[in-house]
Amino acid sequence: MKISPKVREFLCLTAHPEGCQKNVENQITYVKKHSEVKNGPKKVLIIGASTGYGLASRINAAFGCGAATIGVMFERQAAGKRTATAGWYNTAAFEHAAANEDLYAKTVNGDAFSKEVKDQVIDLIKKDLGKVDAVIYSLAAPRRTAEDGTVYQSVLKTTGEDFTNKNLNLKDNTIGEKTIEAATEEEVEATVKVMGGEDWKAWIRALTDADAIEEDAVTFAYSYIGPELTYPIYFEGTIGAAKKHLHKTAGEISEEFKENGISAYISVNKGLVTQASSAIPIVPLYMAVLYSVMKEKGLHEGCIEQITRLFGEKAVFGQAETDGQGLIRLDDWELKPEVQAEVERRWEKINTENVREYADIEGYWEDFYQMFGFHMDGVDYEKDLDPSVNIPSIP
Ligand code: NAI
């Protein structure tokens, strides 16, 4: 069948297998050309490995460091006429590319929060790799079922008082206003349960208890802070509360697992269009303005450029370069004063009439479609395809 995009606001319900493959291949080519890692890891577990920052991390580990990788993801295989998710196709393409270069790559598809998946991953590590020397935590999940069966739902709300600001209407690219409600105490707590650091620490504890992690291993998780403009919806919102908990957890992991020599870091990354971030209100307009400013200044990066810089320049596996609070700042270019001054100037003026002058709407949508394997150069979208694609390591 022919596969075309079916977009519903911030979601695309279809994905294109050959487009996703091309996307993965382009990222591999980038890493091979630009990776400069000293003392890279050799056996890496990536939790949330199939899209966005986690996929870029897996590609850097494998093709930049020659590492064996185990990826954990929550994706869906095709069924009848329904395509698989982009992360499924990305992972199939990744495993094929890894096999072509004799790189070990296996994937576990299931709920990373569950004990079953943790046990399954640990069994796989013990059987095939012995131990891992790096654990990258890149989950972006809407909900979590805890061990006792309680389901926590993360929400994207502000805290304190309701917050109103400009917003890009994704249906027709007009600029309107959006009011974001203040969360209740329970909603903040639930978001912290899902996106905070508890599960990250649970993974490290499970790996340590099972003797499946090397001494001196490195672990890191991804965070976002952003500019003051987005504080009410991001850093001072529910998700920000979760990120602050994640930051605190890095210190706790380094302290609690000191005897095992494990170092835990937070890498604060740049705001980018991914499946997780396009669901946050107000943020897509900020990103479209940011993209246009950073592209004009020659500073724009995507996930693969960011993570290549994390592994190389920021030396996350060596003497990691951190700020005064122990955070690795990959958002250094986004937060340059000259970038943010220009974003603010445009933000004041932007409206439906001038949106294309002040924001990179095309760039926003290009990234969005490409996440699902559409709008990729060199892919024949008229071709009939079987949407069902196997991932070699998943039976
Ligand atoms: P994404 O939506 O592209 O990737 C999420 C990954 O998590 C996918 O591999 C998905 O399969 C996996 N996943 C989701 N629920 C799961 C579950 N229950 N069990 C197993 N796997 C599951 O998201 P993105 O944007 O790459 O986010 C990754 C991390 O980076 C998040 O912590 C996010 O907050 C952070 N980050 C994102 C930024 C952005 O602008 N996109 C900026 C800075 C940090």
Choose one of 154, 194, 198, 222 to mutate for the ligand 1 pocket test, by most ligand atoms within 8 angstroms of C-beta.
222
Cα 357 to ligand 1 centre (Å) = 31
Query: Measured from the CB, is residue 230 less than 6 Å from ligand 1?
Result: no
Each residue's pLDDT tens digit, 316-327: 999 999 998 989
Tell me how far apart the alpha carbons of residues 265 and 246 are, in angstroms, rounded to a whole number: 10
Question: Does the pLDDT of residue 277 top 90, yes or no?
Answer: no
Q: Can you tell me the distance from the alpha carbon of 164 to that of 180, in angstroms, rounded to the nearest whole number?
A: 6
49 CB within 6 A, ligand 1: yes
Any ligand 1 atom below 6 A from CB of 61: no
Average pLDDT over residues 130-159: 96
Ligand 1 centre distance from Cα of residue 345 (Å): 31
Q: Which residue among 55, 57, 73, 90 has the greatest number of ligand 1 atoms within 8 angstroms of its CB, and so is best to mutate?
A: 73
Q: How many A from CA of 160 to the centre of ligand 1?
A: 26
Task: Report the C-alpha dihedral over residues 76, 98, 307, 221, rounded to 10 degrees.
Answer: 60
Q: Which residue is closest in CA terms to ligand 1's atom 29?
A: 138
Point out the residues that are catalytic. Answer: 234
What pLDDT score does 395 carry? Answer: 87
pLDDT at 279: 82
Coil, strand or helix at 138: coil
Rounded distance from Cα 54 to ligand 1 centre (Å): 7
Q: What is the ipTM of this complex?
A: 0.99
In sequence order, the 6+-apart residues with CB closer than 8 A to the CB of 150 are none
Q: What is the mean pLDDT of residues 326-345?
A: 97
**Nearest C-alpha neighbor of 332 from the set 269, 240, 239, 278:** 269
Strands 174-180 and 163-169: antiparallel
Q: Quick one: pLDDT at residue 280?
A: 86
According to the model, what pLDDT value does residue 40 have? 96
Residue 332 has pLDDT above 90, yes or no: yes
pLDDT digits (tens, 9 = 90+) for 246-270: 999 999 999 999 999 999 999 999 9
Q: Evaluate the CA torsion angle 142, 144, 149, 155 in order and state its sign.
A: negative
Q: Is 141 in the pocket of ligand 1 (CB under 6 A)?
A: yes
Residue 277 Cα: closest atom of ligand 1: 41
Give the pLDDT score at 30.
98
pLDDT digits (tens, 9 = 90+) for 102-141: 999 999 999 999 999 999 999 999 999 999 999 999 999 9
Q: Which whole number is the average pLDDT over 134-155? A: 96
Q: Which of 50, 138, 268 gets mutated to test ligand 1 (max ligand atoms within 8 A of its CB)?
A: 138
Mean per-residue pLDDT over the chain, rounded = 96
pLDDT classification of 276: cutoffs 50, 70, 90:
confident
